[in-house]
Amino acid sequence: MSLENLLRNSKKAMLIGIGGGGDIVGTLPTANLLKINGIESVLGGLSWERSVFDPIPGPRKFEETINAERINDVVWFADRNTATSTGVKFAESGMAEALNEKSLLIDISYGATKTAESLLDAAKRLSCDFIIGIDVGGDVVGFGDEKGLMSPLADAIMTASLYKLRNKIPTMMGVFGFGSDGELTNSELENSFKTIAKNGGVLGSWGITKKTLELMRKVIEVVPTEASRSPVEYAMGEFENTSIRSGTVPVKLNLCSTITFYLDPKVVFEKISKPAQVVIDCNSIEEASIALNNIGIKTELDLEIEKFKLLSN
């Protein structure tokens, strides 16, 4: 697999922020790369907002949304008015507003197999011949034993989904905002990238152009996001280290934080992601979360359930 061949042979890509929350913002540099190469793209992300915005644990199903347009059970169109049934807007709704075009919402509630099947179905319906998953921060390349890992579940399901799709449609992963989610340290990220590179899984990289930076500045005024905001601010010349999650998680940025690194999902799945290997055959997000618990990994779903119970008492 080479980045050049993937770009040369594609006409339209499905470009997905795979970590939930504001990861869709991290797709914009790649959308620019695709456009330069004459490739259309449709942007999307998960129907899972962070608990600070949507207190109900886990991703939303189609029946729990308003103003969404169903493509299939897992993939839907969102516009600027799409929200949860409780009135919480998705990051994808903000993206639709900022770009004045529909975005995609992907519900990972049903596990990796149905997610993969539904992504393939949606790709065919939308005439997409390439699927790219973008993670903001880099926790997607965690081995699973890193102490700072706080949101492994969405990444694991999406990594497993992209792996399942590898023989049916060209797929690629990207990491944008190196370390900007505060989960993996720079040394942990570098260790993972070293393993990926040794196995031929690093396909290339792309930075933030001036035009893309202007667009990202516009988008982060509409889409609330911390992990995607920090790299944008760094690219604007604000080089100070920062923190996210109400100041509780320190973030150490560097020039790599403005670059998207493109990876082979097969290598990430087989050589790196124990979480993805564990959840690949789980048929629901709850089952996947329990599977990760069973190997000693606490998930973002666990944290949201705990928070919800606390607020409900």
Nearest 5°: the CA angle 275, 278, 281 is 130
Residue-level pLDDT at 308: 85
Q: Tell if the pTM clears 0.85, that is, is over it.
A: yes
What single-letter amino acid sits at 214? E
Give the C-alpha separation, 171 to 164, whole Å. Answer: 10
Check whether 246 has a pLDDT greater than 60.
no
Over the stretch 178-188, which tens digit does the pLDDT of each residue have?
887 778 888 99
26 burial type by CB count under 10 A (0-12 exposed, 13-18 middle, 19+ buried) = buried
Q: Where are the domains of the chain?
A: 3-312
Over the stretch 153-165, which tens digit does the pLDDT of each residue have?
999 999 999 999 9
Rounded percentage of the chain residues whose pLDDT exceeds 90: 75
Structure tokens at 218: 């516009």
- Mean pLDDT computed over 29-40: 96
**Lowest-confidence segment of 77-91, 156-170, 226-240, 281-295 by average pLDDT:** 226-240
Give the C-alpha separation, 288 to 300, whole Å. Answer: 12
